[in-house]
Structure 1
Amino acid sequence: MTPATRRRAAALVAAVVSVGTGLGIHLLAPDTAVSDVAGDLLYPILVYALVVLVGPRLPALAVSAVTLGWCVAVEAFQLTGLPEEWAAAFPPVVLVLGTVFDPRDIAVYAVAAIGAGLVDAFTRPRRADWG
């Protein structure tokens, strides 16, 4: 198995675990601080995993940057009010786009994106990947 294939396999596991965990928390603790923070932590992990699935040879730093950029863009999109409106019409939208802007979410996204990148970089055969 090549390093890219191993990395993709790990990313697929991370994606499945993050979605499963997120849905479980959402069902067990809907609309609580716990589900909010958990979602803010799990969303960038899912995005990170999806980026790795698409580009398994990208360095961890690049994947972290793309992940954080995506998460910040989605959070900024909430300022338009469209995600909240769409979620009212189709509730599962809230799981992908959220509803209302919260600057704290950006800080949590940054921690999760950097954390995912560090775990990725230091569990890969080439440890110089982060830089």
Structure 2
Amino acid sequence: MHPIESCVRNPVKVAVGALLLILFGVIALIGMPMQLTPEVQTPTLTIETRWPGASPQEVEREIIQEQEEQLKSVEGVTKMTSESMDSSGRITLEFYVGTNMEEALLKVNSRLQQVPEYPEEADQPVISTS
């Protein structure tokens, strides 16, 4: 017996088979982990500078703006954000994926050394990676 003849003679079996294929396909699609873009860790450096007793405005004016002025020319930086709080300030630098972070750390440290002057009571900046 030819397969086409059996399909024509038994349309209900063909319809049930097609529905089962569609059902199992949908179940497989739902159960399959799908991700359009891979999770990529963006290389970042965080510079935190403490200044006990200083207001956020003082931290911004005396520390953060001076550091940002020096750090804006660091190669590979895609985004720079800063935050000023009571007694401390934080600058976060995001780099291109694949950036050599040891090299970037050295460049950032070198640029921070070029900040003209920190307030007398302020601590030296602390650089951390993530």
- Scaled by the length of structure 2, the TM-score of the pair is 0.32
Looking at CA atoms only, which structure, 1 or 2, has the larger radius of gyration? 2
Larger RCO (CA within 8 A; separation ≥ 6): 2
Q: Per residue, is there more strand in 1 or in 2?
A: 2
- Scaled by the length of structure 1, the TM-score of the pair is 0.32
